[in-house]
Amino acid sequence: MAINVKNVQKFFIINGRKIEVLHDINFSIGDGQIISIVGTSGCGKSTLLKVIAGLEQSTSGSVELNGKKIDHPSEKDIGVIFQEPRLLPWSSVEKNIEFGISQTLSKSEKKKIIREHVDLVGLTGFEKALPKQLSGGMQQRVSIARSLINRPNTLLLDEPFGALDAFTKINMQKEVLHIWEKEKTTLILVTHDIDEAIFMGDKIVVLSAKPGTVKKVISVELPRPRDRTSDDFARVRRLVYEQFFPKEELAVEYNI
Amino acid sequence: MAVHNIFRVKALFKNLFLALVLPLLIIILWQIASDRGLIKPSIFASPETITVSFDQMVEKGSYFKHVTASLGRVIYGYIIGSMLGLVLGSLAVLFKTFGKMVDPLIGILRPIPAIACIPFFILWLGIGEASKIGVIVIGAFWPVLLNTMQGIRSADPKLLELAKAFGKTRKIMLCKIILPSAVPAIFTGLRLGISGAWTCVVAAEMIAASAGVGYLISYGRELAQPGTLFVGIISIAIIGLIIDILVIKIQKKTLYWVDQED
């Protein structure tokens, strides 16, 4: 599903003062593409994602999904994976995944797809566990399964691996790419991790802060699966770093 | 598993022992002080006198009459009061207009202690059961009402946003997120409510009743029978404790998802 972000502008009113959070944001995402949105904290990247999800209204401009304006959440077209797992603490893994289902299905159909998704995120055997009995990584996998169960055409990920340790993070990135290859879902990934942005994205949208504006769009033309240690990867990394840090600073770091 | 159980039983006995040491010590010192004539037996009945009074009352069957009279009133009034608190509290938060209407009323009425209403209830409903139950209803109502309101307001905005992102209806949001979020606070309210109800029944019975634990206390004072008086006071403590233990047990079962201390 192609998504067009057109002239999106967003104001917040904080203590009676109008503050511009997003300024004239424009970019587009092709069907089945992965877009990484990177920026420093407070640059409005999560707000932008919420506007795309239909959870927040832009002050002006629009987000279009296949030419149709998005102005409210649509669970069938767009799935959201948040920074925190946001599981219902009183519900088991199974019930939490079931919470994601939006179609009307028979009991046995529900049971079947829940089991498939428990397997997909590698939580077989933990169906009856409560969120408090799971590690942070496992909880986030439950939340991923919950969003995938509707088979949304577009998946929005708001720093979904931010709270995970480095190893779990890399595994989860691979898992999400795996699912993407299978389902050909369009992915929009918000992150402050430059390596993650390059590892995942076909395109990287660099946002600058106060107000959030698109500073640069960088295409990542590396073959998949990508190798974080390759020279090409380093070249792209350098390109992205330059957007955030002045060149002199970088040169000093590289000379050491 | 067996070894595990042995450790658990051991720990249980140890905790029971530790819990009983101080009360037993107080009773022993109390008895010694009474025997030596250090405290006035006409005011401070000795543990022995209290036991004798208790035995006599049990034999006559009057003890259980008093206890069941009080308990019956508490159960009756508590069910009405807590249900009212639960329903009105939920409505006041879920329906904003209704909430705005009742909020000032709550602010005005809440500071009035339930006990202050006893004379009015006697005047209005007479000295029969109705006046006592009325007081208990009020005593149970406020804590349940306030905690229900607080609980329903406490639903995590992040979970509500999640439900919105998943296109859930308001009804599903209410049943799957808002109400379960409120359960811990509601339990706190129910627990405070039962102790409020228990306080109120004793106070109401002390002022006008012909049976009940509160009546027992004021009867003991009027006839200068400190033994009877203390049987009343100790009964209040023990029944209150048993009720609290029961409520905590139910709470642990119901709030299975909350980390709780043992």
What domains, with CATH codes, occur in chain A? 1-77+185-256 (3.40.50.300)
Q: Give the ipTM of the model, two decimals please.
A: 0.82
- pLDDT over 90 (residue B77): yes
B159/A88 CB distance under 8 A: yes
What's chain A's average pLDDT? 84
Q: How many domains does chain B have?
A: 1
Q: Do B166 and A102 touch (CB under 8 A)?
A: yes
Return the closest-CA partner of residue A157 out of A178, A171, A140: A140
Both tokens assigned to B54: 């208790």
Residue B8 lies in a domain: no
Nearest to A100 among B166, B257, B259 (CB): B166
A83, A182, A152, A47 alpha-carbon torsion, rounded to 10°:
30
Structure token digits, residue B203: 């106070």
Q: What average pLDDT does this structure show over A96-119?
A: 87
Q: Is the pLDDT of residue A123 over 90?
A: no
DSSP string spanning B120-167? HHHHHH-SSHHHHHHHHHHHHHHHHHHHHHHHHHTS-HHHHHHHHHTT
Interface test with A, best of B158, B160, B162 (most A CBs within 10 A): B162
Q: Does residue B126 belong to any structural domain of this protein?
A: yes
Q: Please judge whether A75 and B259 are an interchain contact, meaning their C-beta atoms are less than 8 angstroms apart.
A: no
CATH of the domain at B163: 1.10.3720.10
The percent of residues in chain A predicted with pLDDT above 70, rounded, is 95
CA pseudo-torsion sign B56, B61, B66, B68: positive
Phi/psi of residue A85, nearest 5 degrees:
-60, -30
Q: How high is the pLDDT of residue A30?
A: 85
Q: How far is B247 from chain A (nearest CA, A)?
A: 20
The mean of the pLDDT values for chain B is 88
Dist. CA A53–CA A188, nearest whole Å: 10
Chain B residues with beta carbon closer than 8 angstroms to that of A74: 167
b/e A127-152 (16+ beta carbons within 10 angstroms → b): eebbbeebeebbbbbbbbbbbbbbeb
Task: Confirm whether B17 is domain-assigned.
Answer: no
Q: What pLDDT is recorded for position B2?
A: 58
CB contact under 8 A, B162 and A86: yes
pLDDT at A75: 63
Which residues of chain A neighbour B176 with C-beta distances below 8 Å?
88, 99
Q: What was the pLDDT predicted at A222?
A: 85
Nearest Cα to Cα of residue B132 among B124, B87, B230: B124
Give the model's confidence band at A161: pLDDT under 50 very low, under 70 low, under 90 confident, else very high.
confident
* B167/A86 touch (CB, cutoff 8 Å), yes or no: no
pLDDT of residue A5: 81
- Asked if residue B14 is part of any domain, the answer here is no
For residue A237, give how far its alpha carbon lies from the nearest alpha carbon of chain B (Å): 33
AA identity, residue B85? G
pLDDT digit string, tens, across residues A23-77 = 888 888 888 889 999 988 777 888 888 888 888 888 888 888 777 777 777 766 7
Supply the DSSP symbol for B86: H
Give the best residue of B166, B174, B183, B251 to mutate against chain A (max A CB count within 10 A). B166
Res B1 pLDDT > 70:
no
> Quick one: pLDDT at residue A249?
57
Q: Which residues of B touch A53 (CB under 8 A)?
A: 165
Q: Do B176 and A84 touch (CB under 8 A)?
A: no
By C-alpha distance, the chain A residue nearest B161 is A55
B188 lies in which domain range?
57-254
CA distance B165 to chain A (A): 5
**CA of B73: how far to CAs of A163, B25, B70, B85, in Å?**
54, 34, 5, 18
The shortest C-alpha distance from B167 to chain A (Å) reads 6
Strands A154-158 and A186-191, how do they pair? parallel
Per-residue pLDDT of B118-155, as tens digits, reads: 888 888 888 888 888 999 999 999 999 999 999 999 99
Q: State yes or no: pLDDT of A112 exceeds 80.
A: yes
- Percent of chain B topping pLDDT 90: 35
Which residues 6+ apart lie within 8 Å of A3 measured at CB?
A28, A29, A52, A63, A64, A65, A154, A186, A188
Contact A89, A107 (CB under 8 A): no
- Note the pLDDT of residue A1: 62
- Pairwise CB contact (< 8 Å): B180 & A82: no
Q: Which of B161, B167, B259 sits opposite A132 (nearest CB)?
A: B259
One-letter amino acid at A47 equals T
Greatest mean pLDDT among A6-10, A42-46, B36-40, B193-197 lies in B193-197
Cα(A54)–Cα(B164) distance, rounded to whole angstroms? 9
Neighbours of B237 (CB within 10 A): 9
* Percent residues over pLDDT 90 in chain A: 12
Which residues of chain A make contact with B159, given a CB cutoff of 8 A? 86, 88
Residue A253 confidence (pLDDT)? 56
Are B162 and A89 an interchain contact pair (Cβ–Cβ within 8 Å)?
no
Is residue B39, in this structure, part of any structural domain at all? no
Name the pLDDT band for B261 (thresholds 50, 70, 90).
Answer: low
Look at residue A250 and tell me whether its pLDDT is greater than 60.
Answer: no
Paired tokens of B131: 């006046």
Q: Please say whether the beta carbons of B119 and B134 come within 8 A.
A: no
Handedness of CA A219, A224, A228, A230 (dihedral sign): negative
| pLDDT at residue B242 tops 60 | yes
pLDDT at residue B5 is higher than 80: no
